[in-house]
Amino acid sequence: MTAPAPLPPASAVALASAVKRLAETDRLLVAMDFDGTLAPFVDVPRGARALPESKAALDRLERLPRTWVAYVSGRPLDSLQTVTEADEDALLIGSHGVEIRFGRDGVSLDLSDDERRTLERLGEVLGEVVDSLPGLKLEVKPVGFGVHYRLVADEHGPDVVRRAREAAAAVSDRLTIRDGKDIIEFSVRGADKGDGVERLREYTGATAVIFAGDDVTDEDGFRVLRAGEDVGIKVGRGETAAQYRVADEHAIATLLTLLAEARAAATA
Ligand SMILES: O=P(O)(O)OC[C@H]1O[C@H](O[C@H]2O[C@H](CO)[C@@H](O)[C@H](O)[C@H]2O)[C@H](O)[C@@H](O)[C@@H]1O
């Protein structure tokens, strides 16, 4: 006699059932973090791309009635547009919630003179940190900088972070600082992904939101989700406010494919 197939864990069953419930909502917003959620990490940020299965599912979702797809990322908008290969009508939240572009509508950043001076000085001091060790890279963003240390030996990481923090603290004590995956970021603006998700909810009139993310900065997005209506999914390890957790980007691809199938049936 053949052994019965192992049952999926209870959490996987609960998530699959939450996805089916979501598919039935009147107006659905699918908001996705990019790096580490749709796209596996790579050494060169501009080379990152969503897994093909995720991209296909999101493209399908976007074409369905009363369904919106949005990307919510720490990347600057231009970089986000490139790596998502999203069309010009896409809903994009960049720079961790600071930059907003909804199709042709956008929010102008209008930096103050004080912010410009701080950015200039910050670029100088972080540039010195980055120049001190081969492999470090400075990512220039509209409202800040990211110091990437993915390409240096693991033992150097904590020292790079400490020196970058000290250099930035000498410039301003009002910066927003974010620790990410092999990156530390400094910003002169303090909006977060929770603000981004709420702007998207308002813009689309969504009756339910699904948001997935892998990093600490995604926790702000999980915190604004509404129990019983929305679905938050943490990708990978770490403490989280999300209701659900999956292992990696491949699990997200499977989930998005399931959601696209169920939503197509529900809106047919
Ligand atoms: O909010 P996200 O969409 O997850 O963006 C977070 C940061 O992603 C990028 O850096 C990360 O991905 C790179 C490509 O895989 C990787 O090389 C780097 O080590 C990661 O930290 C991006 O470059 C940053 O601007 C984003 O803030």
Backbone angles phi, psi at 146, to 5 degrees: -120, 130
Q: What is the DSSP code string of 57-110?
A: HHHHHHTSTTEEEEEE-SS-HHHHHHHHT--TT-EEEEGGGTEEEETTEE----
Q: Whose CA is nearest to atom 24 of ligand 1?
A: 75
Q: Tell which atom from ligand 1 comes closest to the C-alpha of 43.
A: 17
pLDDT tens-digit map of 107-120? 778 899 999 999 99
pLDDT at residue 107, rounded to an integer: 74
Q: Whose CA is nearest to atom 11 of ligand 1?
A: 35
pLDDT tens-digit map of 118-138? 999 999 999 999 999 999 999
pLDDT tens-digit map of 24-39? 999 999 999 999 999 9
Q: Whose CA is nearest to atom 5 of ligand 1?
A: 74
- pLDDT above 90: percentage of residues in the chain: 90
d(CA 255, CA 224): 21
Assess whether pLDDT exceeds 60 at residue 1. no
Assess whether pLDDT exceeds 70 at residue 7. no
- C-alpha distances in Å from residue 62, one per residue of 69, 72, 94, 111, 167: 6, 15, 19, 33, 43
Q: Whose CA is nearest to atom 14 of ligand 1?
A: 45
pLDDT band of residue 181 (cuts 50, 70, 90) is: very high
113: how many CB neighbours lie within 10 A of its CB? Answer: 7
Residues framing ligand 1 (Cβ under 6 A): 33-36, 41-43, 45, 48, 73-75, 139, 146, 148, 150, 180-183, 185, 215, 217
pLDDT band of residue 8 (cuts 50, 70, 90) is: low
What CATH number matches the domain at 113-187, 3.30.70.1020, 3.40.710.10, 3.30.70.1710, 3.30.565.10?
3.30.70.1020
Work out the end-to-end distance of the chain between its first and last CA atoms, rounded to an integer number of angstroms: 42
Assess whether pLDDT exceeds 70 at residue 165. yes
Assess whether pLDDT exceeds 90 at residue 168. yes
d(CA 251, CA 245): 10
| Distance from residue 77's CA to the centre of ligand 1 (Å) | 13
Report the amino acid identity of residue 90: A
Q: Tell which atom from ligand 1 comes closest to the C-alpha of 44.
A: 17
More confidently predicted of 103 and 158: 158
pLDDT at residue 2, rounded to an integer: 63
Q: Tell which atom from ligand 1 comes closest to the C-alpha of 47.
A: 14
Report the amino acid identity of residue 71: Y
Q: What is the mean pLDDT of the chain?
A: 95
Contact 101, 73 (CB under 8 A): no
| Distance from residue 80's CA to the centre of ligand 1 (Å) | 10
pLDDT band of residue 89 (cuts 50, 70, 90) is: confident
Domain pair 14-108+191-267 / 113-187, same fold? no
| Distance from residue 1's CA to the centre of ligand 1 (Å) | 50
| Distance from residue 265's CA to the centre of ligand 1 (Å) | 34
| Distance from residue 238's CA to the centre of ligand 1 (Å) | 17
| Distance from residue 7's CA to the centre of ligand 1 (Å) | 35
Average pLDDT rounded to a whole number, residues 195-211: 97
Domain boundaries, the chain: 14-108+191-267, 113-187
- C-alpha distances in Å from residue 16, one per residue of 42, 60, 249, 262: 29, 19, 16, 11
Average pLDDT rounded to a whole number, residues 64-84: 97
pLDDT tens-digit map of 205-258? 999 999 999 999 999 999 999 999 999 999 999 999 999 999 999 999 999 999
Assess whether pLDDT exceeds 90 at residue 185. yes
- pLDDT above 70: percentage of residues in the chain: 97
Q: Return contacts of 166-174, CB within 8 angstroms, 24+ apart.
A: 167/125, 167/126, 167/128, 167/129, 168/122, 168/125, 168/126, 170/125, 171/118, 171/121, 171/122, 171/125, 172/118, 172/121, 172/122
CATH architecture assigned to 14-108+191-267 = 3-Layer(aba) Sandwich (3.40)
| Distance from residue 252's CA to the centre of ligand 1 (Å) | 17
Q: Tell which atom from ligand 1 comes closest to the C-alpha of 95.
A: 27
Q: Tell which atom from ligand 1 comes closest to the C-alpha of 180.
A: 21
Q: What is the DSSP code string of 207-256?
A: SEEEEEE-SGGGHHHHHTPPTTT-EEEEESSS--S-SEEESSHHHHHHHH
